[in-house]
Amino acid sequence: MGKRVVYIFLLPLILLSMTIGCVSSESIKQEVVDCFVQMIDETVDWVEADLDSIEKHLSATKESVLKLEQVVTPALTWAEEQKADIQEVKLSGSSWSVQVDREWLSDTLNNDQYQVTSVKLSVFNIGTPEQKDSLVIEVADLTAEVKRLRDWELIDSELKTRLSRLSEQRQALIDSGETSTATLRSVIEHVQEWEIRRINDMTYSVSGAGLGMSEELTSGKWTYYRDSKEIVPADAQSVALWNILSGK
């Protein structure tokens, strides 16, 4: 969602507000509309910046998941082959364990981020209903400042949890930006219902329908400072609307 999309989205209503009259109150209304559009512009800026950051973290995390799978998959395949062979050569009820040769691990199960350092398979009560197996695959993250051995399933779980959290944050940002823009469209539709009251030469009270938020758009009140082109919420309803337009 870029600025151009926001302006195209709001342009018909902005043009409408420009044609509703040239008297002082209508000029103030147009300036207030400009303030609201500027507010959305700033919201879009920070949403896009945060989205860019999240996208980079998402991409890096997805790459880490793939690299972990790359080094672990051969070990998982080896373990399944070993369990199949065990059924044929071991006595029923016995137990057995085997560990992968470290030289094969160092030569094969590694990439630029992860290295499998240990693979050990243990099978208990072979050939009985109580048969259980235990597979331990230890992995080192070569990019970590402090290199330590960890179970691959723990690393995998953390990566996928991070992916889920980042995806949720990304969607929340998108929803926030879209809600802000759609809400402003609805606000501007009420522009002809706004009441302008002069406080002094550079300060005006702007109130009326569509300028507040409860569970839906309601009446609200703002203070417009013409010299600084700033509009400030003046009641609880307008504060609630400001939060939405600002993407809070």
| pLDDT in 10s for each residue of the chain, 248 residues | 555 444 445 555 444 444 433 337 889 999 999 999 999 999 999 999 999 999 999 999 999 999 999 999 999 998 988 887 776 666 667 778 888 887 778 778 999 999 999 999 988 887 778 888 899 999 999 998 888 899 999 999 999 999 999 999 999 999 999 999 999 999 999 999 999 999 988 899 999 999 999 989 999 999 999 999 999 999 999 999 999 998 87
> What is the structure's pLDDT at 5?
47
Evaluate whether residue 109 is within a structural domain: yes
Structure tokens at 153: 């399933």
Please tell me whether residues 145 and 160 are part of one structural domain. Answer: yes
Evaluate whether residue 74 is within a structural domain: no
Q: Which domain holds residue 11?
A: 3-55+172-245
Q: Phi and psi (nearest 5°) for 234?
A: -125, 5
Q: Taking the CA atoms of 146, 147, 148 and 152 in sequence, report the sign of the dihedral they define.
A: positive
The last residue of a domain, from among 126, 145, 167: 167
Closest CA to 95 of 105, 107, 83: 83
Containing 24, the helix (H) or strand (E) segment is: helix 24-89
Q: For residues 74 and 101, is the Cβ–Cβ distance under 8 A?
A: no
CA-CA distance, 167 to 55, in Å (whole number)?
9
Q: Phi and psi (nearest 5°) for 120?
A: -135, 125
Please tell me whether residues 182 and 230 are part of one structural domain. Answer: yes
Please tell me whether residues 122 and 179 are part of one structural domain. Answer: no
Please tell me whether residues 161 and 180 are part of one structural domain. Answer: no
> What is the structure's pLDDT at 39?
93
Please tell me whether residues 135 and 201 are part of one structural domain. Answer: no
The last residue of a domain, from among 167, 193, 221: 167
Please tell me whether residues 163 and 90 are part of one structural domain. Answer: yes
Contacts of 139 (CB under 8 A, 6+ apart): 68, 71, 72, 114, 115, 116, 117, 149, 150, 151, 152, 155
The last residue of a domain, from among 152, 167, 182: 167
Evaluate whether residue 66 is within a structural domain: no
The position carrying tokens 């981020």 is 113
Evaluate whether residue 129 is within a structural domain: yes
Please tell me whether residues 178 and 217 are part of one structural domain. Answer: yes
Beta-strand pair 132-141/217-225: unpaired
Please tell me whether residues 194 and 142 are part of one structural domain. Answer: no
> What is the structure's pLDDT at 95?
78
* 6 burial type by CB count under 10 A (0-12 exposed, 13-18 middle, 19+ buried): buried
Left if phi > 0, otherwise alpha if psi is -120 to 50, otherwise beta: which for 156? alpha
Domain count, the chain: 2
Evaluate whether residue 69 is within a structural domain: no
Closest CA to 71 of 116, 17, 33, 138: 116
Evaluate whether residue 102 is within a structural domain: yes
CA-CA distance, 128 to 49, in Å (whole number)?
59
Please tell me whether residues 176 and 142 are part of one structural domain. Answer: no
Evaluate whether residue 234 is within a structural domain: yes
Please tell me whether residues 120 and 163 are part of one structural domain. Answer: yes
Structure tokens at 121: 């398979």
Evaluate whether residue 159 is within a structural domain: yes
> What is the structure's pLDDT at 126?
76
Please tell me whether residues 140 and 113 are part of one structural domain. Answer: yes
Please tell me whether residues 193 and 206 are part of one structural domain. Answer: yes
Q: Please state whether the predicted TM-score (pTM) of the whole model is above 0.85.
A: no
